[in-house]
Amino acid sequence: MSTVITIRDVPDDVKDVLAREARSAGQSLQAFLLGVLKQQAAFGRNRQIIAEIERDLARGGGVGDDAPDAADVLRAERAEGTAAPGRAGGTV
């Protein structure tokens, strides 16, 4: 389902810049602005995810002090030839 959004009192210079950007992207102003709105919505979701991660870490989430160093793990896998193909350090 979609919703119609109307924005009133957009200054002409702002509309002109947006219209130029849309043209240079080969899009209508409507399509360009929809893309801008979708990008902003994605940023909002990303900020929410980051805030959740920060809350988890503040509560003591994450790895403990005794967790192995990722670089050491990869180095050992490469030396043993056990890294998965196409993955961190593996052969393709």
Query: What whole-number distance in Å separates Cα of residue 81 and Cα of residue 36?
Result: 46
Q: How confident is the model at residue 59 (pLDDT cuts 50, 70, 90)?
A: confident
SS3 readout for the chain: CCCCCCCCCCCHHHHHHHHHHHHHCCCCHHHHHHHHHHHHHHHHHHHHHHHHHHHHHHCCCCCCCCCCCHHHHHHHHHHHCCCCCCCCCCCC
When pLDDT is averaged across residues 52-76 and rounded to a whole number, the result is 84
pLDDT of 65 = 76
pLDDT of 87 = 57
Domain boundaries, given as residue ranges, for the chain: 12-80
Tokens of 17: 């810049």
List, for residues 5-56, the tens digit of each pLDDT value.
999 999 999 999 999 999 999 999 999 999 999 999 999 899 999 999 888 8
